[in-house]
Structure 1
């Protein structure tokens, strides 16, 4: 990041002899704005990476503290949980709090595409999540999905405002994708969500592509998504 900032400032300084003070001030303000947005990108990437590490080790309190006070958490078809307390309880659906012998709960955060709003106060990001699960006396599982998240900056600190993990599919570790498809779990009766699932869809072998929050980087146009009719069951 420091090298990027130094390069931007050096570029601004080169033609300084031919520019007025007003022009320089405008250019420096623009460069400062770009530098601030780059720092925001870096902070959001670190925030999401921290989420993955805490989730892996069952640190539910630390995960919940990454969210805003009114933040929401939605994992697959389990429904939407709102607020830090509800999010922490919802995470118990993924396993006990803290590291447990014989448990594996790996959620890797990959392929980020982060879009920060011009005012630097909100952002959206799309990620890919690779999942490895193990439970005592159960078969292991592979999983995959897409995150579509919202973020908010509060008093200079980036937090998760909305986390939505769209489950692409889960499969038995030994059988693999061609022989096994584990259905996405629905809302819990023991720990019911605050809201039903935002979108009701079928995971693998069904096909569903979560809507893209960003436009095509070359054409600048929205990315159309038309899934098979039998994969989308509804939207709340």
Structure 2
């Protein structure tokens, strides 16, 4: 056990810059601090893996596997479609994106890039921001390109990280054939077939509007909150 603790301390010291307060602490305090750092790094790796698995499952229409990644009362929100609460509701809502198992001639790629993951000091909750390029196609309909931002929350239950809330903000859609200059498509609203549990948490428009989803983390250098000044938009009532 002591060998594992010392190994964790060495790894943490190599990955992270030294902190004067830790350097002046006792050996026991330094080992405890390094061990906590290693745990937080492991948490970040597990969350990034969790989000990557969400992407792979979502891409292939594996809706039950996607829903199982959420906490019991986890929430799923995609653009302006509204909020679905709980695994069963989320799994049914995912059918709005296509059949279970991704039918023939369908493409549903949602990539998870540029991860910024912040784990709380107690190691119980976390946030994650990701860039999300999208490629879609379905039989009898034109293919689309898309791009957006994920702002997610996570919770650790019984030693396992789960998605507490997933919020994908599509920021632009276009026809594959026409491209961004000629085609700027609107987002879909709430489904009449399977209405959401709650309305959208934020009302905004995709391109040609240039909406920026709020940041869940502070600036890494200044430590200040990142203030996003949104462009005026008469359609949604934002001055």
TM-score (normalizing by structure 1):
0.90
**Structure 1: segments with no counterpart, 5+ residues:** 13-21
Question: What residue is the counterpart of 2:19 in the other structure?
Answer: none
Question: What residue is the counterpart of 1:53 in the other structure?
Answer: 56
Matches within 5 A, 1:193-232: 193-230=196-233
List structure 1 segments (4+ residues) > 2 angstroms apart after TM superposition: 5-12, 231-235
Secondary structure class of the residue paired with 1:199: coil
User: Which has more strand, going by share of residues?
Assistant: 1
Matches within 5 A, 1:65-144: 65-144=68-147
Which of 5, 26, 32 is matched with 1:23 structurally?
26
Q: How many residues were matched structurally?
A: 223
Let me know the Cα RMSD of the aligned residues: 1.9
Deviations 1:103-146 (A, max 9, x none): 00000000000000000000001001010001112111000000
Question: What residue is the counterpart of 1:19 in the other structure?
Answer: none
Provide closer, same or farther for how the CA distance between residues 11 and 104 of structure 1 changes in structure 2, counting only shifts above 3 A: closer
Provide closer, same or farther for how the CA distance between residues 232 and 49 of structure 1 changes in structure 2, counting only shifts above 3 A: farther
Provide closer, same or farther for how the CA distance between residues 75 and 24 of structure 1 changes in structure 2, counting only shifts above 3 A: same
**For residues 160 and 233 of structure 2, what CA distance do their matches in structure 1 show?**
42
Question: What residue is the counterpart of 1:8 in the other structure?
Answer: 10
Structure 1 residue 38 displacement after superposition: 0.4
Which of 32, 35, 38 is matched with 2:38 structurally?
35
Question: What residue is the counterpart of 1:185 in the other structure?
Answer: 188
**Contact 1:208/1:232 (CA < 8 Å) preserved in 2?**
no
**Structure 2: segments with no counterpart, 5+ residues:** 15-24
Deviations 1:75-102 (A, max 9, x none): 0000000000110011111111112100
Structure 1 residue 10 displacement after superposition: 8.9
Provide closer, same or farther for how the CA distance between residues 157 and 11 of structure 1 changes in structure 2, counting only shifts above 3 A: closer
TM-score (normalizing by structure 2):
0.89
Structure 1 residue 233 displacement after superposition: 2.4
Provide closer, same or farther for how the CA distance between residues 153 and 10 of structure 1 changes in structure 2, counting only shifts above 3 A: closer
Structure 1 residue 7 displacement after superposition: 6.9
